[in-house]
Each structure stands twice: as structure tokens, then as C-alpha cells.
Structure 1
Amino acid sequence: MTHEEARDVLPLYALGVTDTAERAQLEEHLRGCLPCQQVLALESRTVDGLGRSVDQVRPRPELRRRVLGNVRSFVDPDAIPDAGTSAGASRATPWFWAVAAAAVVALVTSIGLVSARRELAEVQAELETSQQRVAQAEERAVRAASEATSQRRVVTVLTSTDLIQATLNGEAPAASARARAFLSASTGTLIFTAYGLPALPAGRVYQLWAIVGTTPVSAGVFTPDADGRSQFIAQLPALDAPPATIAVTLEPAGGVPKPTGPMYLVGAASN
């Protein structure tokens, strides 16, 4: 018996209306399945509470006669003992009707429990789907907010009164590479975009530099995409003077305090 099949049979097992083969299969499954054991305990408590969930009311005599009359209509008259039946058999008849009525109630109740469990599973599935959609919407909102912030920073830099620009050309390792840099000297915000950069060797990154006089100031490391393109916004520390040169070098992963590798891009900065 599979795990899913066991979950469907557990309510019937708790009510005691499973057949012998089904009961044996379920009990074998239960011996090695702690989650199903826990579900069975819950189902058993539910069934146990059914009898106490409503007030006990003695039925009217005419209602009892009508119910028993309806039950008798489904029974073969030849199977019902006549008035001459022994006293022992006569005494057993009420027990038969009680068991039959209990079986009907158990069957109806079990069907209701199985249906309720399936409806609950459907509701849980719908809830999980809704939660996933909410999470996706939140992710899109975060991305949109981040993009809007980046766009505002770009506009601020490009419209600043102290804008510094640089066109970077490729050096020997990357002769066809090109890049542009835009820097707001007062805020230190630098916009950088490049294309045509070669794929990086293992354990290496590109590092961007703003060179003030003879002092290189790191503007961060980056990795281009598969087409050799890269675009990002960097934040420089406070500078003593506007940079005269913008450059890109090849460095170990994580970057270095001062350039150590070959220069791939370089360009003069001007306002």
C-alpha cells in the first residue's frame, strides 16, 4: 500500500469499516510510517468525538418504527425468523438492526471525512499557489524598486554640474574592447559600461580604477557576461581631486588594493 493510498483508507480504518485484506495492508504500512501513525491518531480522536459532538436524544416511538420499517424493506423476508423462532434468535434481532444502522452511519461518516480531507488538500494546494504568486510579485516589486533607484542615480550623475567623462579603449590583451565612464565628482558615483571584453581566466576578475595623480583608487571588481559586456554603478570614496584617468586591469578574484595585472582598458577623464 502506498503512502497516498494509506491516507485515503485511514478514516475508514479509524471507523472500523475496512475489509480484512485492506486492514492487513494498512497495518503493515503503519508499522513503518510514523506520519501515517500520527494521522491515524488524529482520525481516531475525531471518530471518538463524533458520538459526543451532539446531545443524546431518545427518538420518538413512531420514528423508531419508521426507521426499522425502512431497514426491513432491504432485507430478504425469508431471512427474517417467524413468530415461532426460538427466544435466543428473537433476542438477537435487535442487535442485527443496531449493527446495520451503525454500519450505515459509519459509512456515511467515513465518506464525509474522506471528502473533507480531499477538500482540505485542494484548499492547501490553492493556498500554496497563492503564496508562490505573492512571493513572485514581491520579488518583481523589489527588482522594480532597485531598477528605479539605479535609474535615478544615473540621471543624477548625468545631469550633475561636475560631471566627468572618460572613453576607454582596449589595450593589447583586449584591443577590440571599449568602455565609457561617467563620474559625479561631488558624490563619487561612477557609471561604467563596457563591451568586447575577453572571457576571464579561472580565478581572475576585472578591476576598475579611478587614477588621481599617480594614486589608483579602486572602483570595484566585475565579471562581464558571455558577450563580454558589463554595466554597473560604483561608489568611490572621497577623492582629493578629480581623477585624470579611468582604467581596467586583470586581477586575482576579490580584487587588490593596487593594480598588479595587465591593463585591459584605459582612457583620459575630462569634464
Structure 2
Amino acid sequence: MNDDIHEPAAAYALGAVDDIERASFERHLRTCERCRAEVASYDEAVLSLATSAPEVAPPPSLKASVMAALPPQEPSDRRTAPRTAPARPWLTRTRVLVAAAAVAVLAVIGVGVAQPWQQPTSVAALSPAERVRLSADAQQHTAAVGDARLVVTTSRSAGAATVQTERMPDAPKGHVYQAWFLDAAGTPRSAGIMTGAQPQLLQGTPGASLAVTVEPTGGSAAPTTAPVVRVSLV
């Protein structure tokens, strides 16, 4: 089995991944019990240290020690050395080692101060939208809107859904995008005003489909325009 797919767990738990890597690894987490358990174990270790250890200032030598442990980086010269993109299906091994080293450093010195790279990863600390997206029974439903894409993630166990847009143009001035759950008969029920490209928890229990309309700022009690996109959720 290729273990590279599991490597980002430590880096993900400490927030040491970019948005693309985070989204990719979260899709992997939905189907990998091993990684969910590993992420939870890192989280428990960090939270335990944060709540039990006294607050102390990190020693001045900490940064130097961590930097000294990193593999040496070859200087680049743009005039003589062409840059090539590293092959990284998930994350480079160096960043995984750095993330693991960060956990080890915390364990050794017992630091109880908040760290800028620390992000909530336990189930209790996840946002409602993240809980839906990481549910074991999460299902994605997509629809194209020209060059843009609408992604709705539903979870029967959570009884909820999230919406995310990719490359969606802004709504006209003085208007917003509003999501609607439609039942089998097509009756609409507001699922909330869409606030941006980040995953957003929709209001209420998912229906048979979801539609998005353009409404005046503040939203409407019922759709006033034809849907710009509609996606089936069954």
C-alpha cells in the first residue's frame, strides 16, 4: 500500500497545509479511518498540553533548533538554474517532518501558549460545515454554472448540507445569491443567503434538490427570479 496518501495527517492537524492540500486531504479523511484516528490523536496531544502545561515563553534557542533540524536547502539562482515544480501528490516529506517535529517540540518543552499554526481538528472543535463535509456518509453533488461550479455536500447522518462555489461571479450590485431546498413537488424553502466561495452550512434539512437564485440584498421569502443553477440531491 502506498503510505504517501496518509502522510499529511500530522501537517493537517497543525494547519501546516495550504488550501488545496487541505481540501484534498479532507476528501481523503472521509474514507480513511486510519487518518481520522491519527489526526484526532495529534489534536488530543496538543489540546492536553495547552490545558495542562503552565504558560511559558519559548526559549530563544527554539527557532534555531528547529531550523537546524531541517534539511539544507540549495540556493536558487534564477539566472542559471531553471525552477521546476516538485512532484507532490499530497505534501512534501520535508513539511510532514516539520509538522511532526513541531508536535515533538511541544511535548518536550510543555509549552502552554497558543501557537499561530494551531487549528481545531477534534470533532468537537470542527465547524458545523466541516462536520458535514467529513461525515462518513458525505456525498457530493455538483452542477456547472457556465465556467463556474456549484458543489453541494450532503450527509444523511448529520441531516444537513453544505454549499461551495468555484469561480462563481459576484451577484449583481444590490443583489445576493440565495439557496433554496426544493421538495419532490418543487416547492422551495430558503436554505440561506450564500456568503462566499468557502464551504457554508445550509439552513434546514436537505430537500430533493437545491436551486440558487439572484435576490435583492437581504434575501427573499420566496424566489423572485428563475434559478441560475439547480442540482439534484437524490
TM-score by length of structure 1 reads 0.37
If asked which structure has higher relative contact order (CA below 8 Å, sep 6+), I would say 2
Structure with more of its chain in helix, by fraction: 1
Structure with the greater alpha carbon radius of gyration? 1
